[in-house]
Copies of this chain bind each other. A is one copy, B any other.
Amino acid sequence: MTYRKILEEIFTEVQPYFGKGKVADYIPALERIDPKKFGIAIATVEGECFHFGDAQEAFSIQSISKVFTLSLVFRKHGDALWKRVGIEPSGTSFNSLVQLEYEKGIPRNPFINAGALVITDILISDEKDPKAYVLNFLKTISRNDYIHYDQVVVDSEKAHGYRNASLVNFMKSHQNIVNNVDDVLDVYFHHCSIAMSCIDLAKAMLYFSNHGILPSSGERLLTVSQAKRLNAVMMTCGFYDEAGEFAFRVGLPGKSGVGGGIVAVIPGKLSVAVWSPELNPKGNSIVGMKALELFTTKTGMSIF
């Protein structure tokens, strides 16, 4: 069966899952999205790309940005990074602040908000213009110069960002934030507000599928070991409090965002991105998770 055919079948089979979740409503800019949107794209390490539905439409990637910022910082700092952020799953969502308090301002992993704020803080220390830096990186790896910050989302995030402000101030009180808290929040909100399509994301994730090398240019972005290790972090920490469920049902390293996007990686083969805005109570796209479960079942691809 061709990938094209598989994507079509998936679309048919996920129909019953529409209408069962809720579009993210914590900021007005996301609330307005059409809940019926659905896109899926595959990019192979050989350079092929397949897609279906609204795969060309840019949406708010939100926490998926955390994978890219982490890889930029990990590439530069290596294991020294883990002094400021852990790599363990975060357990129940109920204790996001509990654990941060118990562990004295060291976030459990780089994919919870607190952890990504630390990564952002490091980027600010390292780069003159951390917003342009990340955007340019994404343009390069997606081969798409139109990737941009969605200013409406940025403004909405800032107007409702009290919980993130709480986290960053808390970590600052534990000396785990170096820069000005408002600067950290500004850059962080920008990264969350990047707009990309499924096609962009599938291409952008390819260096994780290709042992650290960007297939389009042959450039090595991560060592083999680094690429493996970041895939491992995605596997254990990529889905908030649902990493176990995603591993159980889909069985691939990946990362989700509350914009309804999910990216996943089949090492050595391909990367896949799916978008459907309705979320389950844990913040992951319901249709997106089902689509990826069907994808691994239909292709027989799995890392296990």
Interface residues of chain A, those whose CB is within 8 Å of chain B, are: 86-92, 94-103, 108-109, 162-163, 165-167, 169-170, 172-173, 181, 225, 227-229, 231-233, 235-237, 241-245, 247-249, 251, 253, 267, 297, 302-304
Q: How far is the CA of A228 from the CA of B247 in the complex (A)?
A: 9
User: What is the chain B residue whose CB lies nearest that of A302?
Assistant: B228
Q: How far is the CA of A292 from the CA of B92 in the complex (A)?
A: 29
Q: Would you mind naming 28 contact pairs between A and B with Cβ atoms under 8 Å apart?
A: A86-B244, A87-B245, A88-B91, A88-B245, A89-B89, A89-B91, A89-B243, A92-B103, A97-B98, A97-B101, A98-B101, A109-B244, A162-B170, A162-B173, A163-B170, A165-B165, A165-B169, A166-B166, A166-B169, A229-B249, A229-B304, A231-B251, A232-B247, A232-B304, A233-B244, A236-B236, A267-B302, A303-B303
- Which one, B101, B232, B247, B251, contacts A94 given CB within 8 A? B101
Q: How far is the CA of A170 from the CA of B303 in the complex (A)?
A: 37
Q: How far is the CA of A228 from the CA of B246 in the complex (A)?
A: 12
| B237→A304 contact, CB < 8 A | no
- Which one, B89, B91, B162, B170, contacts A99 given CB within 8 A? B91
User: What is the chain B residue whose CB lies nearest that of A92?
Assistant: B99
Oligomeric state, in copies: 4
| A248 partner residues in chain B, CB cutoff 8 A | 87, 229, 232-233, 236
| B162→A166 contact, CB < 8 A | no
| A225 partner residues in chain B, CB cutoff 8 A | 297
User: What is the chain B residue whose CB lies nearest that of A237?
Assistant: B244
| A233 partner residues in chain B, CB cutoff 8 A | 244, 247-248
| B241→A88 contact, CB < 8 A | yes
| A101 partner residues in chain B, CB cutoff 8 A | 94-98
| A108→B94 contact, CB < 8 A | no
| A302 partner residues in chain B, CB cutoff 8 A | 228, 267
CB of A118 to closest CB in B, whole Å: 14
Q: How far is the CA of A248 from the CA of B89 in the complex (A)?
A: 12
| A253 partner residues in chain B, CB cutoff 8 A | 304
| A236 partner residues in chain B, CB cutoff 8 A | 89, 235-236, 243-244, 247-248
CB of A52 to closest CB in B, whole Å: 25
CB of A151 to closest CB in B, whole Å: 23
Q: How far is the CA of A101 from the CA of B249 in the complex (A)?
A: 27
- Which one, B108, B243, B267, contacts A88 given CB within 8 A? B243
| Additional pairs, 19, CB under 8 Å, beyond known A97-B100, A166-B166 | A87-B244, A88-B243, A88-B245, A89-B243, A89-B244, A92-B103, A97-B97, A98-B101, A163-B169, A163-B173, A165-B169, A228-B251, A228-B302, A229-B304, A232-B244, A233-B244, A235-B247, A236-B248, A267-B304
